[in-house]
Amino acid sequence: MPDVFVVTGGAGFIGSHIVERLLAEPTGASVRVFDDFSTGALTNLPFAAAAGPRLEVIRGDIRDLAALEQAATGASVIFHQAALRSVPLSVEDPLGTNDRNVTGNLNVLEAARRRQVRRVVYASSSSVYGAGLELPKREAQPPAPLSPYAVSKAVGEQYAGVWTRLYGVETLGLRYFQRLRPPARPRLGVRGGDPAVHPLGTAGRAARDRGPAGAPAHGGMRRQRAALARRHRQGQAGAGLHAARRLRRGLRRAVDFFR
């Protein structure tokens, strides 16, 4: 029976590319997009009509555990991309950031546990490293978050580890660094804080067609920027999908070894 995948934030920037890659797999898998459309948009899913019944779009909030449980029913993997992705907004509204990024993340893990979803691949952030000058960054470096956003991502990693150890939910976090993409919405823009954090919000056509200073970007410049952004975002989406595949292959070999 083909797999069913859930992508929270699936109408957003990276999430929509994960959805597209999953639908392109020859296994005939089905995908459920779970998104509140606060920054995501249906225009990010231009392949929806061609996908037909294999793609289901659910308008929902990750703070609603019951809705998440319903979306996770029968799923094999959850790709968790939904979050409030802004350092400045997290400074202005730390409680709201905690509600979305910590409680929301916890709800995803708990929905996976209750509905027996075997794996959660979730978006973390390089902001958990803080402002340390040590390069290259390594996973073993102790977290040193400098903003409520960064703290929320570090806490999400800790919760994921606990859900793996206590409940057997396989979890894998991806610490995204900078994502190249068209200009961000002004309210999600970076204003200081963690320099490695770049928001993932969705930009409309008007924003895509304008340069960083608001001037129109024409001809070759616009095409080059669009091509670079497309390659980078597809690469990040592929990282999530590759991580799930790699984990699956490793577990299969381990099972075969101990069988």
**Domain encompassing residue 176:** 4-258
Angle formed by the axes of helices 219-258 and 13-24, nearest 10°: 60
**What SS3 class is residue 80?**
strand
Residue 133: its pLDDT value, please? Answer: 77
The tally of domains found in the chain comes to 1
For 54, the enclosing helix (H) or strand (E) is: none
Q: What is the pLDDT along the chain (259 residues), one digit of tens a residue?
A: 789 999 999 999 899 999 999 999 888 999 999 999 999 999 999 999 999 999 999 999 999 999 999 999 999 999 999 999 889 999 999 999 999 999 999 999 999 999 999 999 999 999 999 988 788 888 888 888 999 999 999 999 999 999 999 999 999 999 988 765 554 444 444 433 332 222 333 223 322 333 333 333 344 444 544 555 555 555 556 666 665 565 455 444 433 333 2
Q: What is the pLDDT of residue 8?
A: 98
Structure token digits, residue 35 = 């998104």
The CATH number covering residue 12 comes to 3.40.50.720
Q: What is the pLDDT of residue 170?
A: 96
Contact (Cβ atoms closer than 8 angstroms) between residue 253 and residue 247: no
SS3 141: coil
Q: Can you say how many angstroms the Cα of residue 6 is from the centroid of all Cα atoms in its chain? A: 11
pLDDT computed for residue 26 by the predictor: 87
HSE-CB for 77 with a 13 A CA cutoff: 23
Global pTM reads 0.71
With helix as H, strand as E and coil as C, how does 171-229 read?
EEEEEECCCCCCCCCHHHCCCCCCCCCCCCCCCCHHHHCECCCCCECCHHHHHHHHHHH
Which amino acid is present at 144? A
pLDDT of amino acid 227: 55
